Amino acid sequence: MRRWLLTALLLGSAVSAEHAERQSGYALLGDELRALQDDDFANPGMLWVDAGERLWSQAAGPDGRSCQDCHGDPTSLRGLANRLPRFDADSERLKNLDTLVRNCREQRQQAAALPHESEDLLALTTLIAHQSRGLPLDVTVDGAASAAFEQGRASFERRRGQLDLSCADCHERLQGARLRGETISAGMINGFPLYRLTWEGLGSRQRMIRWCNEAVRAEPMNPDSQGALALELYLAWRGRGLTLETPAVRR
Amino acid sequence: MKGPRRSGLPRRILLKGLAASLTLLWVPRVSADLEAALQARFGDRRPDPGGVELEVSSLVENGNSVAVTVRADPSQPAPAALHLFMPRNPEPWGGSFRIKPPALAEFSTRIRLAGTQDLMAVAEWDDGRLAARAVSVMVTLGACADEIYGEF
Amino acid sequence: MSLSARVRIPAAARAGEVIEIRTLVSHPMETGFRVDSFGRRVPRNILTRFSCHYAGREIVTMDLRPGIAANPYLAFRFVADVSGPVELRWEGDQGEVLTEGGHIEVTGA
């Protein structure tokens, strides 16, 4: 049934690539959307960068501390987002950009938590990731991170949901094939947080993972779970060397 | 495992469908919805062809945000307003841009298109004259089922 | 996200020069045609009107409808003829008002 569905959906497409090319989703955009991403004024994701800048210096919590008070200018965090998620040896947990910002907010500022995908969290993560625009994805997957990395790889290969598809089925084995009016992407995450026209707004890597899971009718992953972060680590490693595009624009 | 059948439809039905779709191409472009929208804005006045330029891609990747530029024909006196109509949207009237000197009769924006349709720009002059240009825009469908709920 | 705008207004121009104003506003432009996961209609929440005053004159207005994309973008051009302020104003369904502005210094008039 699964194969029938796939074949039916992929009518006549040439499917050859056994292994995915490391190709940014940017390569699949038409001229209009490329121009939109490249336009630092009109790229709607820049609204979140602006909002992040306003929040950056805004005091929060009982001590009235802002991000600025500890970190200085946002540019001091250039080179952070392209190396995430990373394995934190002390807590023995994977941490992504959302984890770090949420932890700072709750533990250091002792301010109200920033919910996942909330505008304020996206504003700060987009501002921070934007500082690393142009830097290559470069995550550490050996040493203490190796177990999580293998967990992420296994997750990528595991079939899931009512459609019984794995990430690899589409984004590796069928990458480049046509599906309705679209070319199946390599599943790269170098543009996040990004402005997706389907969402008419910004979303994180974990929102996209959740969206994909829902698309194959699988149970969504908790964005804080080590399983979800392990998958994010594996995805970041698959895209190693691709440059960060935050805020990218996708369809 | 069986391969996909190219089609389960008998050939005769296919040919009939083809003939029907060719017929549709010759149906006048003003749909009932567009007609109602034009009536609401302009009463019994209707635009003549030409007199306004409409720049938009003929094939767009997502109907949620489509770049358009509307510009009055520079060889004619400047109109007082430029209007946009998207006949197949739930609300066909897209917006109206009014200009007074020294503003130029030209604007760029991003619109929503609920599917493939003939986008129409209308220029309106102070004396009541109207001119219009329509451009066919095909909206392609994304790979996976679109998200239904906005929450996540 | 809270209502805010990015605007690009040239600070200086030569008399007679055609200049461009670009604007991008954070706004959901909720159409009023969608339903939520419980089948309830999501109420319309759009920006309905934009205006631009230049040197005290209203030179551009726009009626915005639900067919304008989320986070609306608008760019337009005019001839710089006198020095003066540029005042941009958006109004929305919820009574919200956003203003942005600048000043154009025109030389050689």
Tokens representing A99? Answer: 């984890």
Q: How high is the ipTM of this complex?
A: 0.94
* Nearest of C27, C80, C83 to residue C50 by alpha carbon: C27
Q: Which residues of C touch B113 (CB under 8 A)?
A: 67
Q: Which among C33, C60, C66 has the least Cβ separation from residue B99?
A: C60
pLDDT of residue A11: 42
Residue pair C71/C26 in contact by the 8 Å Cβ criterion: yes
CATH dotted code for B44-139 = 2.60.40.2470
**Does the annotation count A67 as an active-site position?**
no
A48/C1 touch (CB, cutoff 8 Å), yes or no = yes
Search chain A and give the residue with CA nearest B61. A251
Q: Which among A42, A54, A119 has the least Cβ separation from residue C73?
A: A42
Q: C22 CB near a chain A CB, below 8 Å?
A: yes
Q: B61 CB near a chain A CB, below 8 Å?
A: yes
pLDDT along chain C (109 residues), means of 10: 93 97 98 90 97 98 98 98 98 98 92
B1/A3 touch (CB, cutoff 8 Å), yes or no = yes
Q: Which residues of A touch C4 (CB under 8 A)?
A: 47, 50-51, 54
Print pLDDT tens along chain A (251 aa): 555 555 444 444 444 444 557 999 999 999 999 999 999 999 999 999 999 999 999 999 999 999 999 999 999 999 999 999 999 999 999 999 999 999 999 999 999 999 999 999 999 999 999 999 999 999 999 999 999 999 999 999 999 999 999 999 999 999 999 988 889 999 999 999 999 999 999 999 999 999 999 999 999 999 999 999 999 999 999 999 999 999 999 99
**CA distances for A95 relative to A85, A135, A187, A249, angstroms:** 5, 19, 21, 25
Taken in order of first residue, the domains within chain A and their CATH numbers are: 2-8+20-39+138-250 (1.10.760.10), 46-131 (1.10.760.10)
Q: C69 CB near a chain A CB, below 8 Å?
A: yes
pLDDT of residue B5: 45
The Cα of A64 is separated from the nearest Cα of chain B by a number of Å equal to 31
Q: Which among B64, B141, B143 has the least Cβ separation from residue A197?
A: B64
Domain residues for C57? 5-107
Q: Which residues of B touch C61 (CB under 8 A)?
A: 97-98
pLDDT > 60? residue B149? no
Cis peptide before B47 (omega within 30 of 0): no
* Nearest of A81, A82, A80, A55 to residue A69 by alpha carbon: A55
Provide the Cα torsion A124, A127, A128, A134; round to 10°. 160
Over residues B31-73, the pLDDT tens digits come to 788 999 999 999 999 999 999 999 999 999 999 999 999 999 9
pLDDT of residue A6: 54
Which CATH number fits the domain that encloses residue C75? 2.60.40.10
Instruction: Give how many domains chain C has, as a whole number.
Output: 1
The mean per-residue pLDDT over the stretch B123-131 comes to 97
The Cα of A33 is separated from the nearest Cα of chain B by a number of Å equal to 8
Give the whole-angstrom CA distance, residue C26 versus residue C12: 27
Locate the domains of chain B by residue range. 44-139
